[in-house]
Amino acid sequence: MKANTMKSNKIKSNAIAYFIAICLTNIMLFGCDTDNNASELGQAVTFEKLREQGLFIESLTINDDHIRLTKGETHQLSAMALTNSGDVIDVTESIDWSSSDNSIATVNEQGLVTAVANSSNNQGIVIIMGTSINGIVDEGEISVSDVAVSAINLIHPQPEEGTIGTCVATNITANVNYEDGYISMNTIKDISFSLDSNTSATIDKNGTLYTSSPDIETTIITGTLDDITDSLTVVADPLNVGHLDILLDDIVTDDITLAIGERILVNGQATLTNTTLPSSIDNTIVWSQESGDYLGITTTGDNKGTLVGLIAGTTQLVGSCGGNQTTATVSVTGTAELDSIKINKGSDITLASSESVDLTLTAYYTDTPTSLNVSEFAHWSVSDTSLVTVELIDLGTNTASYQLTNISKSTDEVIVTVTYAGESSTINITLE
């Protein structure tokens, strides 16, 4: 009897315990999470982090807008932000981009606009909006239409008026008027630029003008778009070119040492009298050496300013622009002496019509370095320049070569002669 009562109590107590456990499990699994502001709180923490890092955006500006595209074209917008630390930073890839009409133009996460369809409605204008993580918004305008150009007007946005500073690269752009009244602002899209024949300035396909004359120089720039042209007269004044510096590894230097065969890159900068920060003048500075042929200097191209030690000795590297110059003493070290030179392709080559060959001249030394590509620093000549075109390519690299292309209409022969450090070599090329 007593045993039955105890067994009954145990079953009862176990049932109560299991009931409580089941209740609690249900509460855990099915109890609703209360509403809270965790998302807003998390955002506040993110903003505080940005403030602490000086990256909290106070204002936003979309650039490179006010441009007309036609269906299928793309255009890269950029966005700059003023932060709580006072810095202006590029936020093109960190803001949210959106388009007011995706049927006319779309924009991706990197600010690249794609024209989807030409539109005549409201001049084809689409608003592109950029929004920062903390909700700061700016808008840009893009137009998509195939209406013809009616006029172009070349400008140099900085400075908007007056002379430009010699040695400092200047961007030339255009305001382009279309027949429906729309105006693309500050664009270089599809515009080809050319300069008058009397100027020493140069301009690249992006409309960047490089000037280096020691005197005040007038340059006439012509821009052409769809057979419509405009000219802009620009006066470059070297008055504001203060002093020049030579940089090695971004540090101003006046003493450089390199071994025979060693290759280094130097840069030029100018401090203008009307500014405190120096400007890069890599594209306008003219490099030379004061005496001898101790150095090989790349004077043009993407690798302009590349130096190679060729002969042991000391010389002065001279950088000049706008009538100012700066020098650095360059010591080329080593005991190697030139032994011989050799063209890579042997003595005779046959070249088919329109075919090209890259000729490389290698100098052989008595000591380290035992060989060196000196193609860029040798003097090349061709017996008949009407039969071939020639170009030095890959300047400033150890793969530089003299590229020769057959443009002859008949079977001919040219002789290529190369001279380096008093040594000569020739190669006969049969043109088919």
Partner 1 sequence: MIKIISWLLLISFSFPSTAKSPLVDSTYVGVDYILSSIELRDERAKPSATAFRIGANKERIGLEAQYLRGNNTDNIYRMEFDLEQSIALYLVLQSKTISGFGLDVSLGYAVTDMTVQGPAETYNGEDTYSGFSWGITFHQKISYIENTQLRFGYQSLYKDDDISISGISLGVIYQF
Distance of alpha carbon 99 from alpha carbon 112, whole angstroms: 11
Q: Considering the rule CB under 8 A, would residue 44 count as an interface residue with partner 1? A: yes
> Considering only residues 16, 162, 227, 277, which one is a binding residue for partner 1 as defined by CB under 8 A?
16
- Contact partners, residue 230, CB within 8 Å, separation at least 6: 151, 152, 153, 154, 174, 222, 223
Cβ closest to partner 1, residue 55 vs residue 183:
55
CB of 300 to partner 1, least distance (A): 50
Q: Considering the rule CB under 8 A, would residue 10 count as an interface residue with partner 1? A: yes
The region of 13-21, 57-65, 121-129, 210-218 touching partner 1 under the rule CB under 8 A is 13-21
Site for partner 1 in 284-343 (CB under 8 A): none
Q: Considering the rule CB under 8 A, would residue 45 count as an interface residue with partner 1? A: yes
CB of 10 to partner 1, least distance (A): 7
Tell me the torsion sign for CA atoms 119, 121, 125, 126: negative
Q: Are 280 and 268 in contact (CB under 8 A)?
A: yes
> Considering only residues 1, 3, 27, 277, which one is a binding residue for partner 1 as defined by CB under 8 A?
27
Distance of alpha carbon 391 from alpha carbon 403, whole angstroms: 5
CB of 2 to partner 1, least distance (A): 14
Cβ closest to partner 1, residue 26 vs residue 300:
26
CB of 48 to partner 1, least distance (A): 4
Distance of alpha carbon 363 from alpha carbon 419, whole angstroms: 11
The region of 16-24, 108-116, 199-207, 241-249 touching partner 1 under the rule CB under 8 A is 16-24
Q: Are 319 and 326 in contact (CB under 8 A)?
A: yes
Q: Considering the rule CB under 8 A, would residue 41 count as an interface residue with partner 1? A: yes
The region of 25-33, 142-150, 375-383, 408-416 touching partner 1 under the rule CB under 8 A is 25-33
Q: Considering the rule CB under 8 A, would residue 85 count as an interface residue with partner 1? A: no
Q: Considering the rule CB under 8 A, would residue 3 count as an interface residue with partner 1? A: no
Binding mask 47-76 for partner 1 (x = CB under 8 A): xxx-xx------------------------
- Measured at the CA of 307, the angle between CA 301 and CA 309, to 5 degrees, comes to 145
Task: Provide the token pair at 215.
Answer: 């005197």
Distance of alpha carbon 365 from alpha carbon 418, whole angstroms: 18
CB of 47 to partner 1, least distance (A): 7
> Considering only residues 13, 275, 333, 426, which one is a binding residue for partner 1 as defined by CB under 8 A?
13
- Measured at the CA of 308, the angle between CA 349 and CA 358, to 5 degrees, comes to 15
Contacts 24+ apart (CB under 8 A), 273-277: 273/239, 273/240, 273/241, 273/242, 274/240
Cβ closest to partner 1, residue 36 vs residue 291:
36
CB of 222 to partner 1, least distance (A): 54
The region of 9-17, 248-256, 262-270, 339-347 touching partner 1 under the rule CB under 8 A is 9-17
> Considering only residues 40, 160, 161, 249, which one is a binding residue for partner 1 as defined by CB under 8 A?
40
Q: Are 405 and 355 in contact (CB under 8 A)?
A: yes
> Considering only residues 3, 28, 251, 277, which one is a binding residue for partner 1 as defined by CB under 8 A?
28
Exposure of 369 by Cβ count < 10 A (0-12 exposed, 13-18 middle, 19+ buried)?
middle
Tell me the torsion sign for CA atoms 239, 240, 243, 246: negative
Q: Considering the rule CB under 8 A, would residue 235 count as an interface residue with partner 1? A: no
Q: Considering the rule CB under 8 A, would residue 34 count as an interface residue with partner 1? A: yes
Q: Considering the rule CB under 8 A, would residue 276 count as an interface residue with partner 1? A: no
Neighbours of 169 (CB within 10 A): 17
- Contact partners, residue 190, CB within 8 Å, separation at least 6: 225, 226
Q: Considering the rule CB under 8 A, would residue 21 count as an interface residue with partner 1? A: yes
C-alpha torsion 40→46→52→58, nearest 10: -80
The region of 8-16, 192-200, 284-292, 342-350 touching partner 1 under the rule CB under 8 A is 8-16
To which residue do tokens 């400033």 refer?
Answer: 396
Residues that bind partner 1 (CB under 8 A): 9-10, 12-14, 16-17, 20-21, 23-25, 27-29, 31-34, 36-42, 44-49, 51-52
